[in-house]
Structure 1
Amino acid sequence: MIGDVHLLLTDSQGRVLFGRRANTGYEDGAYHLPSGHLEAGESVVAALVREAKEEIGVTIDPAAVGFAHIMHNSASGGRVAFFFRVELWEGEPSNMEPDKCDDLAWFDFEALSDRMIPYCREALHHIAADRRFSIYGW
C-alpha cells in the first residue's frame, strides 16, 4: 500500500496554498496540495517536512504539524493519504519544482479552484466538516 502526505499550509487569513500541476502526465492543470510519497524508514511527519522543503522551499518544525485527515483511497490498488495542517513555518513559499508545477496560489476553503484532483477536493470537504477519516473510490 502506498502512503502519501498532503500539506495544508495555512496563512493568517485561513487560506491554503496549492500548486498547479504541469508536465506530469497526471491531472496537469489541476490544483493540488503540496504532497508526496513516504520513503522507506520515514515517518509521515518527516515526509511532510521533507516534501515542504522540496516542493515549496519552506522549513517546518515537526512540532508545528497538526493532523487534519486520513483517507483510504482505492487508486493504484489502495493508498493511504495523510493530510496535515501547518500554520507556522519559516521562509516564503516558492515554486521549487517548475518542471512539475506552473503556479502557486492561495485559496479559501469556500472558494477552491474549479480544477482540482477529485480525491483531494473530497478530503478538503471532510476536513472543513471536521471529519478525520474517509474512504474514497471503494
Structure 2
Amino acid sequence: MSGRFVVVPAAYVFLLREGAAGTEVLLQLRRHTGYMDDHWAAAAAGHVERGETAFDAAAREAVEEIDVHDVDLAFVTAMQRTRHADPIDERIDFFFTARSWRGEPRIMEPAKCAELRWCPLVDLPDPVVPHELVVLRSLSGPPLPAYSTFGF
C-alpha cells in the first residue's frame, strides 16, 4: 500500500415527522460501539459496502437498524471530515432525510443502541455526535450546501 489517503464512505438517515413542537427527528443513543458511545446519533447509519451506492446503503441501514422499508430518501449533504490524520475520521458521509417509510421504527441492534427517541429539531438531546449535530441544525436553520466539511 502506498500510504495514500483512504476515505471511508458512510450513509446516514434522519427520519423526520411533524410533532406537537414542530419537526421531530428519530435519534438513537449509541451504546457499546467503541465510537461516540452514549451520544445521540442518526437512528440509521453505516458504511457504504463495496459496489453499493450511498443511496442504497442508506436504505439498507434503515432496514437493518430500525426495520423500516421503502424509505423515501432526500439527499441533504456530502460531508468530508477529518481529525487531522486520525484514521477513524478520514471519511465522506452522505446524509439523507426521509419523511415517509413503511413500518414502525424499532431497535434491531440492541447491543449497539440503548434507546430510540423522537426529538424536536429545536430541542435536541445532549450530547449529539458533533458532525451529525451540524447537519441536524441545518435541518431547522440555514441549510448546508451539497458539499460540506467538518474538522478541517
* TM-score higher than 0.5: yes
Instruction: Give the match for residue 91 of structure 2.
Output: 79
Give the structure with the larger helix fraction: 1
Shift, 1:78, TM fit: 2.0
Matched length: 136
1:131 aligns with 2:144: yes
Instruction: Give the match for residue 26 of structure 2.
Output: 17
Match of 2:125 among 108, 113, 134: 113
Deviations 1:19-38 (A, max 9, x none): 10111122111110021000
Shift, 1:125, TM fit: 2.3
Shift, 1:126, TM fit: 3.2
Instruction: Give the match for residue 77 of structure 2.
Output: 69
Aligned CA RMSD, in angstroms, stands at 1.4
Instruction: Give the match for residue 44 of structure 1.
Output: 54
**Aligned residues of 1:71 and 1:81 also touching (Cα < 8 A):** yes
Structure 1 runs not aligned, ≥5 long: none
Deviations 1:32-58 (A, max 9, x none): 002100000101111011000000000
| Other structure's SS at 1:26 match | coil
**Aligned residues of 1:20 and 1:101 also touching (Cα < 8 A):** yes
Structure 2 runs not aligned, ≥5 long: 1-6
> What amino acid does structure 1 have at the position aligned with 2:9?
G
